[in-house]
């Protein structure tokens, strides 16, 4: 039976209590820069500059690398922000955040004069500039020794409407796949996608290809093209754009990424019976998906109140009653 536990306290301190090379995969979504005040001292996301924010995350993932097996992978979801007039930070990704928060608190950094920082003054970026936080983080992790293997686009068909008229409405975020070593565990078959056949190129066959070759590529024969697209194994290799609708969460945690978003990460990155780590446990989504699919999970959560909320979320996703251990970081 799969189980999970949550370590309450600073995530770096909590992970220091884990054995080296004991975790198969890390799947997480850190707090976004300048978006929310979670009401707890020491939280990540309230730094005065993007550089400071990224540096703190690099420190977190350095400890993740220590506890990750040599064949382990790291999957990081990260959204972006804009520099706004008056020194506030604007994000177009608020649909990921729902609920009222602990003690009814739900304040954006831009509305908190004590926390708001003139990001364009500090970084040299003028108002309306995209900060590029996801790629700043990705390149910083690469410089710190991680292998940056892929950028995955989370396409949201139901994005939050924006009032802007001088750019497109934001409808995507990033998931970065990183590894500790050049060779790592990755189960491509576990996340194959349907082999589409509409005879208009969506099947993976270029328009204009001779019909007899196209038929083979669609699975009608043993051609190299069919094997390349995965038609001989019940699907094709998963593409790097994942369309997943955002889903509101009635609980009191701000940030809940959809279970469907991280399901491929866990299935591809962690074998059955393995351990998935999330240093930013939040509402417990990672644990719920891990337990649902026969994996174990270890979460870290800075705020004790949020840690108490996880049980219901995990149960609703996993559909069973996993063992749950709660411990405080030293």
Say which residue, 178 or 41, is predicted with more confidence: 178
Q: What are the tens digits of pLDDT across the range 68-116?
A: 999 999 999 999 988 765 445 544 443 344 343 433 333 333 333 333 3
Most confident of 30-39, 43-52, 211-220, 298-307: 298-307
Say which residue, 210 or 185, is predicted with more confidence: 185
User: What pLDDT is attached to residue 205?
Assistant: 47
Average pLDDT along the chain: 78
User: What pLDDT is attached to residue 267?
Assistant: 98
Residue with structure tokens 């299935």? 267
Q: By the 8 A CB rule, do 88 and 109 touch? A: yes
Q: Residue 70 CA to chain centroid, in angstroms? A: 21
103-107, 137-141, 324-328: the lowest-pLDDT one: 103-107
CA distance 266 to 9: 24
The DSSP secondary-structure symbol of 167 reads: S
Is pLDDT at 4 greater than 60 in this prediction?
Answer: yes
User: What pLDDT is attached to residue 197?
Assistant: 60
Binning pLDDT at 50, 70 and 90, where does residue 153 land? very high
Q: By the 8 A CB rule, do 177 and 28 touch? A: no
User: What pLDDT is attached to residue 24?
Assistant: 98
Q: What are the tens digits of pLDDT across the range 268-287?
A: 999 999 999 999 998 899 99
Architecture of domain 18-186+253-285: 3-Layer(aba) Sandwich (3.40)
Binning pLDDT at 50, 70 and 90, where does residue 212 land? very low
**Span 241-262, average pLDDT:** 77
User: What pLDDT is attached to residue 209?
Assistant: 41
In the sheet that 3-8 helps form, which strands lie side by side, from edge to edge? 241-243, 147-155, 172-179, 68-78, 23-28, 275-278, 296-301, 3-8, 323-328
**Span 195-211, average pLDDT:** 52
Q: How many CA atoms lie within 13 A of 155 on its CB side?
A: 6
Query: Taking the model in full, what pTM does it have?
Result: 0.80
**Span 136-143, average pLDDT:** 98
Q: How far apart are the first and last CA of the chain?
A: 28
User: What pLDDT is attached to residue 67?
Assistant: 98
Q: What is the CA radius of gyration of the chain?
A: 21
């Amino acid at each position: 039976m799969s189980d999970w536990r949550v370590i309450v306290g600073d995530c770096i301190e909590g992970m220091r209590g884990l054995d080296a090379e004991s975790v198969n995969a890390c799947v997480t979504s850190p707090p976004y820069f300048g978006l929310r005040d979670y009401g707890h001292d020491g939280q990540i996301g309230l730094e005065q500059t993007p550089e400071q924010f990224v540096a703190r995350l690099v420190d977190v993932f350095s400890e993740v690398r220590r506890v990750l097996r040599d064949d382990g992978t790291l999957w990081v979801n990260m959204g972006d922000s804009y520099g706004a007039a008056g020194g506030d930070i604007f994000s177009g990704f608020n649909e990921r955040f729902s609920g009222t928060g602990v003690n009814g608190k739900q304040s954006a950094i831009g509305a908190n004069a004590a926390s708001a920082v003139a990001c364009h003054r500090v970084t040299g970026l003028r108002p309306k500039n995209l900060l590029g936080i996801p790629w700043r983080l990705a390149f910083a992790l690469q410089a710190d020794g991680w292998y940056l293997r892929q950028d995955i686009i989370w396409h949201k068909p139901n994005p939050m409407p924006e009032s802007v008229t001088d750019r497109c409405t934001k409808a995507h975020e990033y998931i970065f796949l990183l590894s500790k070593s050049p060779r790592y565990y990755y189960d491509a078959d576990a996340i194959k996608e349907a082999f589409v056949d509409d005879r208009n190129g969506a099947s993976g066959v270029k328009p204009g290809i001779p019909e007899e070759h196209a038929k083979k590529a669609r699975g009608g024969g043993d051609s190299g093209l069919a094997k390349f697209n995965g038609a001989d194994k019940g699907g094709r290799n998963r593409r790097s754009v994942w369309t997943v609708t955002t889903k509101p969460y009635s609980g009191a945690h701000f940030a809940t990424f959809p279970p469907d978003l991280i399901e491929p990460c866990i299935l591809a990155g962690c074998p059955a019976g393995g351990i998935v780590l999330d240093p930013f446990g939040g509402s417990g989504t990672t644990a719920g998906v891990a337990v649902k699919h026969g994996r174990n999970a270890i979460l870290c959560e800075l705020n004790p109140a949020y840690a108490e909320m996880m049980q219901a979320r995990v149960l609703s996703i996993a559909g069973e009653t996993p063992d749950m251990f709660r411990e405080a970081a030293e």
